[in-house]
Structure 1
């Protein structure tokens, strides 16, 4: 799992937990509010029922014994008509707050019985109806109303108790849910901390230790590729960088050993040549051979030093170019004529179009690249084989190609062909060199905005193609360098 997915999951879980908590809180608040409202309505119903009972009893007492003394006057000085008006108002209020069907039916019964009681009180005495019978009829309706009111009070009391029990139940549920949510939150935080320490912080600590140890010289140290995806990618990147640096260091050490070995050979030859000239009589023929050997060895030394200097300038970003508009046919012709005069034992062919093929480039650097390619073609081709140098203008591009019939290269060799200080396995035994020529050539061409391509098969030769931007024929053209200038650049070629 990646850190991004982990934190997304954690944040999503916390958001879900928050939403659930908020929803439960809303539900709990709504339920408690509803139960509080029910409890308040029940209390108000009990109060109104008791007040109605009191008013009915006071009304009955005032009508039946108007002159009787009362210790407490609940009627507050109200007359019977005022009491009757209050009774009707209280019945309407009881209808308004009745919340259940049973309560509404009971209130309707109370209203009917109260009205029956009032009607009995105000009914005139008819023939054959005694005052005792009239009072008995009124008391019957009053007692029925009082019983209904007691039942209404009991209904409200039951509702209040039910609401209280429900509130207690919801309170217990809220406590339980709060405890569960708290435990869930603490468990989640604990798991997050454990996961971070176990699967995130430990790999980071191991990566830091590996980086610190590698910086102190422990080239064998590598970071464990474990933990979240991002940390594994960081560890893998560090390991690849460490492998690359270690490989480069090994290559540099091998390069230094190869340079020392390659420098020792011409130096030994020079030392031997100078020693021969000090022995006895020196004939003109021997002197010519010695001077020829010295020139070849000095040229090799100059070529090696030139490659090293060019590689250093390129890596430091100080490769200076002096571009001019030149005809690539003349540049290719000058290189071919140079190697034709050296009697290399190969057949050099130049294939160029009739029209000028112009490029804007540094002529000395472009000749250096062609010298490297032609030199490699001659070194790694059997004597008597053909090496072709061609120039072709293709639309907006110029292609300079060097094709040989040499040993060729495998696909594995081609992958590291332009890497500094690397040489193909079959090339190491064919010709001396330090493996900088093609690397320098590629960087020179890339500095001109071009590219180098190669096609090769083992035993079938190789073809190197240099692609450069072509300039129009109307561009100003400078002359080709003189022979003396060409001679100064002969030693700047590189070996593959």
Structure 2
């Protein structure tokens, strides 16, 4: 599981838990609000029913004994007619507060009994109202009304007690639910902390330890365990790949230093031997031998200069300090100068130059472009058997100038082509055929890429190779500096075509 998925699941669970808790809180609040409303209505119903009872009793007393004073007059100085008006008002308020069918049914009986009582009171004469033998019908209707009101009061009391019991049950449920949610949240936090410590923090600590050991140089074989969340596994994998790459580069550097030391020792040994042969104390040094020795010295010095130049160029490229001085030049002229250089110094191969009649202009650093072409032609000569044919052709299309160098040499396999432009790497057969440090092609490719071009290679073992340099063309109207070949054309030159 990845950290993103884990935290998404944790956040989703917490959000779900919060939503459930909020929903349950809303339900609990609504239920308690309904119970509180029922309790309030029940209390109000009890109050109105009791007031109605009191007013009925006061009304009956005022009608039966109007001259007898009351110890505490609940009527507050009201007349019987005003009390009757209050009775109707109270009945209306009881109707408004009735919430159940049973309550409304009993309330209807109360209304009927109160109406019967008031009707019985109106049917009595003045003498009958003031006589000691109060009419039994009035007493009976009053008792019926009071009993109906008692039933109504009991219904409201029962409703209040039921609401109170429900509120108590809901309170217990809320307490239990709060305890469960709290335990669930605490358990989730404990699991999150455990998972982070076990599956996230420990791999991070192992990765940090491995990086510290590797960076301090205490253990170059230190690698991070690839475990834990996918992000940490990817980090550990990246670190391990980087460590392997650095270790491989270190091995390559050591091999490169060993190769450079070996390749430098060969020309230095030749130079040392040459100087010994030409020492003044030797009497057998003939002019011819001296010329051969000087030619050997010149070749070894050129070899050393080329090796040092490649090393310096590789260093500048790695540091990002390769400087170019681009000019608009004719690719034919640059190719011709390189071919003429090797044609005069290498009689063992046949060099052919094929160029078009029209100028093929590019914007490039002429010295650097000659360096690339010189490297390609030199490799073609070194890795081709004596007497073979090397061809340098300048081609063009709508957008690019192409310089192709083809040989009939040893060729390369697809596996060898993959590491052809890697610094300090040389194919096995190339190491046996010619000395070198494996920087020429790498430097050449970086130079061409700095010009915005590219180098392509086609090769097969035993069938030779073709290197093609692609550079962007410029229009013929672009200003260009004159080359030596423009100022002075050699007499008797063959012009475009083959150079042997």
* TM-score, L = length of structure 1: 0.93
TM superposition shift of 1:344 = 4.6
1:338 equivalent to 2:337? Answer no
Secondary structure (helix, strand or coil) at the match of 2:243 reads helix
Partner of 2:264: 263
- The farther-off stretch of 449-458 and 32-41 is 449-458
1:309-324 pair list within 5 angstroms:
309-324=312-327
Q: Distance in 1 between matches of 2:143 and 2:188?
A: 66
1:337-486 pair list within 5 angstroms:
337-481=340-484
TM superposition shift of 1:72 = 3.0
Contact persistence 1:409–1:458 (CA under 8 A) = yes
Q: Distance in 2 between matches of 1:473 and 1:419?
A: 36
Question: Structure 1, residues 348-370: CA drift from partner, whole Å, max 9, x if none?
Answer: 22121111100111111101100
Contact persistence 1:125–1:134 (CA under 8 A) = no
Partner of 2:160: 160
Secondary structure (helix, strand or coil) at the match of 1:304 reads helix
Secondary structure (helix, strand or coil) at the match of 1:341 reads helix
Contact persistence 1:222–1:242 (CA under 8 A) = yes
Q: Distance in 1 between matches of 2:220 and 2:383?
A: 37
TM superposition shift of 1:452 = 1.2
TM superposition shift of 1:446 = 1.3
TM superposition shift of 1:473 = 0.6
Partner of 1:224: 225
Q: Which runs of 5+ in 1 are unaligned?
A: 484-496
TM superposition shift of 1:346 = 2.0
Q: Distance in 1 between matches of 2:347 and 2:195?
A: 71
- The farther-off stretch of 61-70 and 433-442 is 61-70
1:65-144 pair list within 5 angstroms:
65-124=65-124, 135-144=135-144
Contact persistence 1:346–1:386 (CA under 8 A) = yes
Partner of 1:43: 43
TM superposition shift of 1:69 = 4.3
Q: Distance in 2 between matches of 1:317 and 1:266?
A: 30
Q: Which runs of 5+ in 2 are unaligned?
A: 487-500
Secondary structure (helix, strand or coil) at the match of 1:429 reads helix
Q: Distance in 1 between matches of 2:461 and 2:191?
A: 60
Q: Distance in 1 between matches of 2:455 and 2:260?
A: 26
Q: Distance in 2 between matches of 1:3 and 1:208?
A: 18
CA RMSD, 1 decimal:
1.9
Partner of 1:25: 25
TM superposition shift of 1:52 = 1.0
Partner of 1:181: 181
Q: Distance in 1 between matches of 2:134 and 2:66?
A: 17
Question: Structure 1, residues 47-89: CA drift from partner, whole Å, max 9, x if none?
Answer: 1111111211221122223333433322223221121111111
Partner of 1:172: 172
Secondary structure (helix, strand or coil) at the match of 1:4 reads helix
Contact persistence 1:75–1:83 (CA under 8 A) = yes
Contact persistence 1:344–1:378 (CA under 8 A) = no
1:227-266 pair list within 5 angstroms:
227-266=228-267
- The farther-off stretch of 134-143 and 264-273 is 134-143
